Amino acid sequence: MTTPERTSSPEAPSAKFWNKMADRYSKSPVSNQAAYEKKLEITQSYFTPDMEVLELGCGTGTTALIHAPFVKHIHAVDISEKMLEIARDKAAKQNVTNVTFAQAAIDTFIAPDQSYDIIMTHSVLHLLEDKEATIANIHKMLKPGGYFISSTVCLTGIMRFLQLIVPIGRLFGFMPLVKFFSTKHLEKSIANTGFKIISSWEPQKSHSVFIVARKIP
């Protein structure tokens, strides 16, 4: 496979924010362990041993490393080099050799068309300036019939006060960019790009939606 381009700068504001958060993030417990395990199970039901997988926004690598035994290779990228240092350390300690970690900005990441069998994004799309452009890029990078699997926080109509707090937090550097949209809006964005939504699941008492979508051959 052609090596994807590294298209981000470690000096970007979002990279600085997540670099600062890396240690705290790595020590934070999963908020809903049962839901997380179900998402892992659903995702693994689509894996085969010969698959090339991309994870955009891999954080400290936990999910990629869990999935590694079920596929040929996972290319995991994140904007934060500090997050990736933790991820690489985990991979070394777990003796995982089929996950490649690389620093890249999700919204400008480039790989050859039809490179991957599955592309995953977890808690990422609501942090992007233009999620539609990223979804379109994901569609291009997937092979015909490939799967886009995502878990996304959808805040519209639930936590309106955040819409006032986030701009202030970004100004002082203690909050990242956060976009507010509904589950229906996200599903429409995915479907309009040329995906068929296979399943859409919102865990109970959660503000996130887990979607499996297939690139129409």
| Domain harbouring 116, CATH code | 3.40.50.150
Cβ-count burial 177-194 (b if 16+ within 10 Å, e if not):
ebbbbebeebbebbeebe
Position 29 in a domain: yes
Question: How far apart (Å, rounded) are the C-alpha atoms in residues 1 and 115?
Answer: 7
Q: Token pair for residue 9?
A: 């700068």
Amino acid at the residue 139 = H
Q: What angle do CA 170, 28, 162 make, to 5 degrees?
A: 30
The answer as to whether 5 is a domain residue is: no
The verdict on residue 6 lying in a domain is no
49's CB contacts (< 8 A; 6+ apart) are 70, 71, 72
Number of domains the chain is built from: 1
* Contact yes or no for 166/173 (Cβ under 8 A): no
Asked, for residue 188, whether it belongs to a domain, the answer is yes
CA-CA distance, 52 to 73, in Å (whole number)?
A: 5
Structure confidence at residue 38 (pLDDT)? 96
pLDDT score for 12: 57
Q: Let me know if residue 80 belongs to a domain.
A: yes
pLDDT at 160: 52
Interval 7-40: pLDDT, tens: 444 345 578 777 877 787 677 878 789 999 999 9
Q: Is residue 145 assigned to a domain?
A: yes
Provide DSSP, 158-217. T-TTHHHHHHHHHHTTSS-------HHHHHHHHHHTTEEEEEEE--TT-SEEEEEEEE--
Q: Is the overall model pTM greater than 0.75, yes or no?
A: yes
Helix, strand, coil % over all residues of the chain, rounded to 5: 40, 25, 35
Determine how many CB atoms are found less than 10 A away from the CB of residue 63. 21
The residues near 109 (Cβ < 8 Å, ≥ 6 apart) are: 4, 5, 7, 8, 56, 77, 137
Percent of the chain whose pLDDT exceeds 90? 65
Residue 30, domain member (yes or no): yes
Structure token pair of residue 140: 């291009």
What confidence score (pLDDT) does residue 37 get? 96
Please indicate, yes or no, if residue 7 is contained in any of the structural domains: no
Q: Which segments of the chain have a pLDDT < 70?
A: 1-13, 25, 156-177, 205-206
For the chain, the C-alpha Rg in angstroms (whole number) is 16
Give the pair of three-digit tokens for residue 174.
């203690």
Q: Which residues of 64-98 are buried (b: 16+ CB within 10 A; e: fewer)?
A: bbbbbebbebbbbbbbbbbbbbbbbebbeeeebee
Can you give the pLDDT at residue 152?
Answer: 94
Q: Which domain holds residue 62?
A: 13-215
Cα 104 to its chain centre, rounded Å, is 12
